[in-house]
Structure formats: structure tokens, C-alpha cells
Structure 1
Amino acid sequence: MNKSAIIVAGGKGTRMGSPIPKQYLEIGGKPVLMHTLEVFYQLDAQIRLILVIPEVDMDFWIELCDKFDFEIPHQLVAGGPSRFQSVKNGLNAIADTQGVVAIHDGVRPFVSPSVIAESFRMASQYGSAIAVVPLKDSIRKLTDEGKSFYQERQYFRLVQTPQTFDLVRIKKAFDVTELHHFTDDATVFEHQGWQVHLIAGNAENIKITSPEDMDYAQFLLLKS
């Protein structure tokens, strides 16, 4: 089975309030993005790694790789004006006619290797595998009239990445015009009328977007 992973890192770090995008900030002595790539490589060095970043960041990333002696093999692909377009560019870089591809946020460096492995297994069997975690807090639904209603939290899940798919199907799914309801790769897949298969994610697999997330990331590194 041909396995690929598209690591998408197109953020500008607006909420982080940093002069450089969050994916290049250091935790544990190296940029966040390097930690993310390492998880996939250490699980299976045969996974083809495709890193999608803004074209204007490419020289900076190459400088970071030199600075930190980062030698994990990966292919650089220029991102697009949206996440949808960036993922599509990553998919277009895969010449294989069959296989399985994981799509993962570059700023989720704490994904469990077992979750990645399970996503490849389940996607090869069901065509898709979406990592999710249950909600811990109570939730309420807001209405346009300013009212709110209790919701049964056991019927909801928080969606993470990786979101892993049969390569042929996900390429077909992305061969459409981008729509506003494409909030993640699973919604693009569902647009074809296909049901997505859910798998258990891991709670530590946070998406680093704020200074508080950076503090928690440092804690997780010290804990590991």
C-alpha cells in the first residue's frame, strides 16, 4: 500500500501575535512543524511526506532546516489562497494512481503514532478515517433569536486530523469548485455522497493557535 501524508501549514499566526507564523515557532528546541513531520517519519520512514506551505515561506523553511540540521525527507509544495486549494495542490503532487493519503494540520505536533497508523488501516478498508474525540463539557445550541437549547453531547464529536482517505476517492472529491461549507477534508469527501468513517483521536492532539497553546505544548513535551 502506497502511503502519503500531506502536512498543511499555511497559517499566518494572527491569533498568536507573533512576527512569524505559528508553525515556525520553537517548542522543545525546534519549530513546531519539525515535530509534526517527525511523528510521521518515526512511525514509518516509507510514508511519503508532502509539506504544503506558502510559497513566500519556502526560503525561510529551507534556512530553518539548515539551522536545525533537519534531514527528514519531504517534498515542498506551494500552498494556495485557502486550505482547500493548499490540500488540492498537495494531492496534485502525488503521482501514484492508488494508495492512501493522510491530511494533517502542521500545527498538531502531538498526534499519537497509533492514531496515524489506525487511520491508514481504516482508510484502506473503508475509504476514509477521520480522527475525533468526545466532548467533555455540556453544550448548547444558539438560535438567531438569541435563545439557547441543551444538546445531548454524546451525539457530537470534536474533529481532529489526520483525516485519511483512499487516494483515488479524495482526488476525485477535490476536483470540484470550492464551497463555503468545506470546513475540512471530511466535508469535501462527504460532498460526493460518501459516508466518512470515524476513529478515536487522542486528546493531546491540540491545534496550536494561541500563546496559551504554546504553553500547553511545552508542558506536553516535558511530560513525554
Structure 2
Amino acid sequence: MKKFAVIVAGGSGTRMESTIPKQFLLLQNKPILWHSINAFANAFDDVEFIIVLPENFLEEGKKIAKEFSSTHKLNFVAGGETRFHSTQNGLKLINKESIIFVHDAVRCLVTKTLIQNCYTQAIAKGSAVPAIAATDTIRLIDDNDRNILLDRNKIRIIQTPQTFQSNILLPAFQQNYKDSFTDEASVVEAFGKEIFLIDGESENIKITRPVDLVVAESILGKRYSNY
């Protein structure tokens, strides 16, 4: 089946304390965005990319695209006001039956194994949303400002690529935006479709703060030394 990877990098990343969006910071001498694209390119020869970037950084993204094989078509679109709107802008370029991956550009440590596993489950069940178990103690602050201990064995931390059949994801994104739409799974669930989780990866971290760059640099260095 046709495959689309919507790589969402529409934000500015203010928590990184950088003058440029974090997806363009370097790891192993390559932009973070390059590593995310490369993971999908290694997973499938026939995946088509839709890269969602801040409008004033589209040209920077196109420079990165030149490093990839012509067998992988890379399309670019400007991001929106929220994650929902950025993803929605990317999905507007898809008009055929397909499996759609939506991936945070700054989760650049994702492996081809996870990507392929998400594809296989999405074919079988309609969706595949990577998740890992919580290891920290977690408390919930309720409406009365009371803190309530939660059973961490029942908590899952959600990752990307969130992967769906197009006939599920595309109509879900025709809904009007709600503040509760924090990821694609929340949009699809609000549309009335069941979400199916899949085992994520502990190293599939989101690069958000400067310390995450140090961790990612170390992980990539170990991976490349094993090749």
C-alpha cells in the first residue's frame, strides 16, 4: 500500500534556547530533521514525504532534501498555529488510499524496526500508536487542587510515528479544532475510532531541551560505531 510520512516540524522550539528551530540543530554533523527523514527512508524504499516546517524555513528544509535519493519524493508545506493545524496542512496533500505516518521531526532516534512495526499493525488494525510504560511515580492534580497518586503500571507515554490508514486519519482531521487535540490519536479518538497502541522504544526521545541533544548525540554515536 502507498505510504506517506508526514514529518511535523512546524514549531520554533523555544525551550531549546536556540536562535534557530531545533529541527535544524546538528547531531553527528547532520540536522535533526535529516536523521528523522533518514530513518523512514531506510525503513521503506517507496515512502513519500511531506515535511511541515515554519514558513520562513522551507528553503532550509529543501536544502536537506537534496541529500536524499530521487526515489523518495519530498514535499514541503508551511506549518499552522498548532500541532493539529500543522498536521492538517500536511494531510491536505494526500488524496489516495494509503498508510500515513505522522512523526515529530525531533524524535530523530526512531528506528526502522519501529516504523516497520507501526506499518504492519496499521494494516491489520487501522492504527498503531507507539507507547512506553511510565517508570516515574505520577500524581494527578484534580479540579480541587488535590494531588492523586496514579497506578503507573496503567500509564503509557505516547510517542510517534502515530500511524493510521488514510480512511481513518483524513476524515478525522476534517473536525473543528479542540484544545484537547494534542496528537493525532486524540483527534482520531474524538472522531469515534478506537486507538491501538504498539510498543514504542525507550530511545525514541523527543529533543526538547539542550540536555536531550547530549543524550541523542551519545546514542547516535554508539549506533554508528556498530555499523
Deviation at 1:168, TM superposition (A): 1.4
Deviation at 1:95, TM superposition (A): 2.5
Backbone CA RMSD of aligned residues = 1.4
Matched residue, 2:48: 48
Matched residue, 1:11: 11
Deviations 1:125-169 (A, max 9, x none): 111110000011121222344432221111110000010001011
Matched residue, 1:35: 35
TM-score normalised per structure 2: 0.93
What secondary structure sits across from 1:117 in the alignment?
helix
Q: Quick check: 1:71 aligned with 2:41?
A: no
Matching residue's letter, 1:71: F
Deviations 1:37-73 (A, max 9, x none): 000001112011111112211123334x38xx62344
Matching residue's letter, 2:75: Q
Matched residue, 1:166: 165
Contact 2:12 2:54 in 1 (8 A): no
Deviation at 1:13, TM superposition (A): 2.2
Aligned identity (percent) is 38
Counterpart Cα distance in 2 of 1:132 and 1:56: 33
Q: Which runs of 5 or more residues in structure 1 are unaligned?
A: none
Q: Which runs of 5 or more residues in structure 2 are unaligned?
A: none
Contact 2:115 2:161 in 1 (8 A): yes
Deviation at 1:208, TM superposition (A): 0.2
Matching residue's letter, 1:223: K
Counterpart Cα distance in 2 of 1:141 and 1:78: 36
Cα pair distance change 1:174/1:9, threshold 3 Å: same
Moved over 4 A (4+): none
Q: Quick check: 1:139 aligned with 2:152?
A: no
Counterpart Cα distance in 1 of 2:123 and 2:186: 19
